[in-house]
């Protein structure tokens, strides 16, 4: 049912780039968008990978996402900047914003760059990891469309509002946290519904705000459970305030889903780079992170399980997939080839 075929990362990236160029996207922008999609595929975050390409193209073709966005810094001063993405690609805005944060942090120790009027930017860790090569800590927040009810209520208003932090190590792999504020992604609940299975208690609430193990009750008017209940709800609200309200992009609850074609998504993001060498010798810091990794890896595990640092499983998968290729489901290949056909490009 879920038959897959393996593709080299470069092949998939070139394919995506060419489709985007075919749809009218500038070459350098297409390259960034394709890179973020392949980054997600390599790291096993399929939901933010090439399966999204057709949705991006649909947004472009319907004009809901601007093809010729003029992204300009609306404000810039000291250690901050605010980029108006002009309803263009979230990936292009995010790439520009994170690199700007890194450049600011070179001279100011820290750089904080907000983005307004943007769109879905894909996998958050793609941006936080951009800071690593400059020996900086990257921090990324984005809000997303309503999926979680504020604690104590029954109405989905807050997005799952992901957060990513990336920290460089010396010999070890960087520590990369990339998480949403919900216990599980909506995709897992959709998958259970599709298979006719129950979900564990603690994943979702029904339309009255009470726990349910029926995935359909969650999907129809219910909501996702935030991590730690009131805590995750508070975190998601703060991410929304920093990304949506502070960037003056939209009010809480107004950001639209990537699949909602009724108008601009009004997505906001926040990017922060912290220059390690402003605080201490960057090499000593990275050695200390190596030690932190070693300390954690040498702790006794529960049962016979392996102990993983945040991002470690993703790095291992990335290395494997760079060697062996990325598995793509045949129905996704078919959909991608439909796009290729539309722009007169060779099939995958």
Q: Within 157-176, which residues bind a copy of itself (CB under 8 A)?
A: 157, 165, 167, 175
User: Is 60:258 a contact under the CB 8 Å cutoff?
Assistant: no
Q: Can you say whether residue 285 is alpha, beta or left, with left for phi > 0 and alpha for psi between -120 and 50 degrees?
A: alpha
22 touches a copy of itself by CB under 8 A: no
Q: Which of 208, 259, 283, 341 binds a copy of itself (CB under 8 A)?
A: 208
* 3-state secondary structure (DSSP) of residue 131: helix
Q: Which of 54, 213, 278, 335 binds a copy of itself (CB under 8 A)?
A: 278
Which range in 8-16, 92-100, 150-158, 316-324 contacts a copy of itself by CB under 8 A? 150-158
Instruction: Map residues 283-322 to x or -, x wherever contact with a copy of itself holds by CB under 8 A.
Output: -xx--xx-xx--xx--xxxxx-xxxxxx------------
Question: Phi/psi of residue 116, each to 5°?
Answer: -120, 165
* 3-state secondary structure (DSSP) of residue 67: coil
Q: Which of 140, 235, 326, 336 binds a copy of itself (CB under 8 A)?
A: 235
The minimum distance between CB 300 and a copy of itself, in angstroms, equals 5
The minimum distance between CB 179 and a copy of itself, in angstroms, equals 5
The minimum distance between CB 7 and a copy of itself, in angstroms, equals 29
77 touches a copy of itself by CB under 8 A: yes
Helix (H) or strand (E) holding 106: helix 90-108
User: Is 156:223 a contact under the CB 8 Å cutoff?
Assistant: yes
97 touches a copy of itself by CB under 8 A: no
The minimum distance between CB 138 and a copy of itself, in angstroms, equals 11
C-beta closer to a copy of itself: residue 22 or 310:
310
C-beta closer to a copy of itself: residue 245 or 317:
245
Residues 6+ apart with CB under 8 A from 153: 209
Spatial CA neighbour of 57 closest among 342, 347, 348, 268: 342
Instruction: Map residues 130-149 to x or -, x wherever contact with a copy of itself holds by CB under 8 A.
Output: -------x-----------x
Distances from the Cα of 336 to the Cαs of 56, 187, 215, 324, 347, in angstroms? 12, 21, 29, 21, 8
Place of tokens 């006719």: 196
279 touches a copy of itself by CB under 8 A: yes
Displacement of CA 51 from its chain's centroid (Å): 14
User: Is 122:91 a contact under the CB 8 Å cutoff?
Assistant: yes
213 touches a copy of itself by CB under 8 A: no
The minimum distance between CB 321 and a copy of itself, in angstroms, equals 22
């Amino acid at each position: 049912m879920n038959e897959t075929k393996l593709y080299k990362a470069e092949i998939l990236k070139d394919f995506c780039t060419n489709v985007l160029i075919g749809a009218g996207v500038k070459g350098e922008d297409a390259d960034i968008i394709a890179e973020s999609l392949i980054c997600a595929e390599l790291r096993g975050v399929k939901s933010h990978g090439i399966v999204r390409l057709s949705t991006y193209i649909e947004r472009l073709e319907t004009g809901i996402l601007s093809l010729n966005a003029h992204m300009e810094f609306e404000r810039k001063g000291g250690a901050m900047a605010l980029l108006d993405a002009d309803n263009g690609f979230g990936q292009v805005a995010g790439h520009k914003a994170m690199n700007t944060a890194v450049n600011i942090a070179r001279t100011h120790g820290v750089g904080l760059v907000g983005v307004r009027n943007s769109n879905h930017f894909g996998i958050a860790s793609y941006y936080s990891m951009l800071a690593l090569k400059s020996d900086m800590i990257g921090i990324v927040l984005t809000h997303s469309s309503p999926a979680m009810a504020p604690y104590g209520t029954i109405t989905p208003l807050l997005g799952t509002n992901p957060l990513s932090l990336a920290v460089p190590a010396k010999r070890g792999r960087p520590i990369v946290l990339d998480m949403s504020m919900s216990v599980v992604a909506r995709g897992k609940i959709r998958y259970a519904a599709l298979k006719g299975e129950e979900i564990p208690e603690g994943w979702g609430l029904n339309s009255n705000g009470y726990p349910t193990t029926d995935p359909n009750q969650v999907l129809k008017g219910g909501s996702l459970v935030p991590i730690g209940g009131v805590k995750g709800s508070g975190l998601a609200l703060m991410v929304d305030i920093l990304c949506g309200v502070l960037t003056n992009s939209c009010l809480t609850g107004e950001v639209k889903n990537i699949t909602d074609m009724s108008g601009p998504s009004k997505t906001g993001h926040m990017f922060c780079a912290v220059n390690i060498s402003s605080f201490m010798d960057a090499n000593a810091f990275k050695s200390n992170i190596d030690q932190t990794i070693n300390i954690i890896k040498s702790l006794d595990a529960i049962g016979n399980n392996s102990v993983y640092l945040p991002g470690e499983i993703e790095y291992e998968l990335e290395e494997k997939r760079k060697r062996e290729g990325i598995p793509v489901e045949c129905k996704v290949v078919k959909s991608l080839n439909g796009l290729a056909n539309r722009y007169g490009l060779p099939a995958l």
